[in-house]
Amino acid sequence: MFDNVCKFIAESFSRDFATWLLNEPITLTELSPSELSLEPIRADALILLQSDEIVLHLEFQTRPDANIPFRMCDYRLRVYRRFPNKRMRQVVIYLQPSDSELVYQTEFVLENTWHRFDVIRLWEQPTELFLNSPGLLPFATLSQTDDQSRTLEEVAEVIEAINDTRIRSNIAASTAVLAGLVLNKDVINRILRSDIMRESAIYQDILQEGLKEGFEQGLEQGLEQKAQEIARNMLNEGIAIALIVRVTGLTVEQVQQLQAKTDETQAE
């Protein structure tokens, strides 16, 4: 969920990110990883944006990742192969505080190969930095603030002043999701208006994703319940546990637990 929101914000408000990270208020367009190789590296929060002169590579991380240095080096070479004349800025943005040394790694070293990239730990960034641009507002509560609830209230005030309904709803929904990393749901719901968020494209995506996950979980639970029902019937018929395991797909331990429950019921 956090990955999708970060991608949505960066792609929808690329000019704000360019101003923040490149010191250039330019509009960037999405660059698909598939344009750089036949088999893109699996990366949940990989974002590539480009202009005619520069490529901005962003990696949003909620947790430390030991593979980040290699991934940054690899994508730098891929971009060079595809666009040898373009500059490139690579930034790893860590969302949650961590004591891991991994969040301080800024280079990849392999024998005679050496590559550097930039790292931003949001909890060390001044809050004011994120209150002046719509696309950066969702990150304000993750910044260096002594009162995250109060910061979210400040963000809500700025959001309310946004005239464009679509932008206002998208920013509100994105803010609510990312604020969930540091604040509980009740606080977020109290401060941010839910009616505004419902109009957001990212809110609808999250809702659909939640419904899909819920359906899949329900389907999985239903199949397991059916398998347990079949297993109980087979146990009542005195069929061997090994055969029940093969037929139902349950584990030996699950069947044994069902057998114990069946024996208890019959004993009563």
Query: Nearest-CA neighbor of 191 among 162, 159, 168?
Result: 159
Question: At residue 242, does pLDDT exceed 90?
Answer: no
15 has pLDDT over 60? yes
Residue 140 has pLDDT above 90, yes or no: yes
Average pLDDT over the chain reads 83
| Residue bearing the bigger pLDDT, 9 or 249 | 9
pLDDT score, position 214: 40
pLDDT for residue 200: 60
Average confidence (pLDDT) over 132-156:
94
Q: Which pair of tokens denotes residue 43?
A: 């990366």
Contact 31, 55 (CB under 8 A): yes
What's the pLDDT score for residue 234? 78
More confidently predicted of 228 and 215: 228
Could you tell me the sign of the dihedral formed by the alpha carbons of 16, 17, 18, 23, in that order? positive
Q: Given a cut of 60, is residue 58 above it in pLDDT?
A: yes
Answer whether residue 152 shows pLDDT above 90: yes
148-161 mean pLDDT:
93
Least confident of 3-7, 25-29, 188-192, 193-197: 193-197
Task: Tell me the per-residue pLDDT of 68-127, one tens digit each, with 9 for 90 and over.
Answer: 999 999 999 999 999 999 999 999 999 999 999 999 999 999 999 999 999 999 999 999
